[in-house]
Structure formats: structure tokens, C-alpha cells
């Protein structure tokens, strides 16, 4: 519920809103929230790279106390913003290819192979609700509906926790812990007809 409240507040902000704050980090960074039609993406850039954040990670990073002091934007604000823009532009072009090719990413394919394996498909310990959830996860992966970072985090968790063999119930717990519920509201493929609008910067937060 709290996640949906945060998302509604973010949607209500004026475009190109920006702020800065002092934060205990080794390097300066910039989180940018982009929108393209009904597609929403978050990216974080520093002096080394720009990468996608899932919504939960972005919300946690943007969360501050009410009395947090607003600082001046750093001198490299526009450089970092440009890096996030480039990454977002590349990702939104790539999304179209991924939707058409149904699961073209290596990490997504790894997860799909596990979810479609006989060990999971024929496991008798799942409830009907569990089976429905797994089908939704499979559908989400096939239609490119998850951020790359979420997929990478998931496959990392799977590799770390199942070195000695796959446990279907533990896998289900990992899925529910890693994948935020809002990704099942509407897949990218379902909303692709409404993602052809202009790429927009909604907000950015500079931290140092």
C-alpha cells in the first residue's frame, strides 16, 4: 500500500523537478525518474556508470526525513543527467526488441528455464495460488516486464541459494521477496501501445 502511495505522489510531481542533498556516499550520484507513455524507469549515475534501479530501490534511495536540508546542485549534475538520459534512451529502444523476441536477455532466459523445469512444473507442494503466481512471473519475464536490475538480482539470489539443489518452496519465497508486486499490475507488452510518447524527465535527485 505504501509503495502505491509513493508512486502516486511521484506521478503528481511537476516535470523536471530536481533537488540535491548531502548523503554519506563515496561518490556523487544522480537518480533520475523517466517516463515514456505508461512506461516508468529509474536510473542512477555516478562518475563510473549509469544503471537502472527497480522501483523499490529507487523509493528507498529517495526517502528522506521531513527536515532534510535541500542543497545546491553539484557542478556535474548535467553530466550525470546526460548519462542517465542516454541509458534510458538505449533501454527504451531495447525494450521493443525484447518484447518482440520474447525473453531475449540471457539472465531472463536463465530464470525462465528454472521456472519451466519439470522440478517446478510438477512440484506437488504448491497451492493453486502459488501456481498462478509462478505463471504470472513467467509471463512477466517473457514480455520483458521486469527491470534488468531486478532480473540480475533474482538470478544472483538463485545462484547463491541453490548451489546444492533447487528447493521449489524456497524459490517461491525468493521470487516474492525480489519481485515487487506492482510489476504484475500491467506488463510492458500490455501497455506497449501507450509507450510511444516522448521521453520525459520527471524528477532528479543529486546526492553527494
The pLDDT tens digits for 23-49 are 766 678 888 988 877 778 889 998 888
Q: Which three cell numbers stand for residue 112?
A: 525462465
Taking only Cα atoms into account, the Rg of the chain, rounded to an integer number of angstroms, comes to 18
Instruction: Using DSSP, state whether 203 is helix, strand or coil.
Output: strand
Sheet strands side by side (includes 199-207)? 17-21, 199-207, 29-36, 39-45, 50-53
Of 96-100, 190-194, 196-200, 201-205, least confident by mean pLDDT is 96-100
Handedness of CA 133, 113, 148, 155 (dihedral sign): positive
Q: In the prediction, which pLDDT does 135 show? A: 87
Instruction: List pLDDT tens digits, range 156-180.
Output: 888 887 777 888 898 898 888 888 7
Amino acid at each position: 500500500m505504501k509503495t502505491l502511495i509513493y508512486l502516486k505522489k511521484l506521478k503528481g510531481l511537476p516535470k523536471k523537478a530536481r533537488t540535491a542533498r548531502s548523503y554519506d556516499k563515496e561518490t556523487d550520484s544522480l537518480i533520475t525518474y523517466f517516463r515514456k507513455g505508461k512506461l516508468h524507469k529509474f536510473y542512477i549515475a555516478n562518475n563510473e556508470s549509469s544503471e537502472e534501479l527497480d522501483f523499490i530501490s529507487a523509493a528507498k534511495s529517495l526517502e528522506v526525513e521531513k527536515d532534510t536540508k535541500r542543497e545546491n546542485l553539484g557542478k556535474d549534475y548535467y553530466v550525470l543527467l546526460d548519462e542517465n538520459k542516454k541509458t534510458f534512451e538505449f533501454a527504451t529502444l531495447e525494450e521493443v526488441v525484447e518484447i518482440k523476441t520474447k525473453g531475449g536477455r540471457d539472465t531472463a532466459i536463465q530464470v525462465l528455464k528454472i521456472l519451466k523445469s519439470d522440478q517446478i512444473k510438477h512440484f506437488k507442494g504448491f497451492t493453486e495460488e502459488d501456481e498462478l503466481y509462478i505463471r504470472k512471473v513467467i509471463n512477466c519475464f517473457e514480455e520483458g516486464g521486469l527491470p534488468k536490475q531486478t532480473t540480475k538480482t533474482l538470478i544472483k539470489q538463485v545462484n547463491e541459494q541453490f548451489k546444492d539443489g533447487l528447493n521449489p518452496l524456497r524459490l517461491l519465497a525468493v521470487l516474492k521477496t525480489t519481485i515487487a508486486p506492482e510489476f504484475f499490475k500491467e506488463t510492458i507488452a500490455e501497455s506497449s501501445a501507450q509507450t510511444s510518447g516522448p521521453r520525459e524527465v520527471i524528477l532528479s535527485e543529486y546526492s553527494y
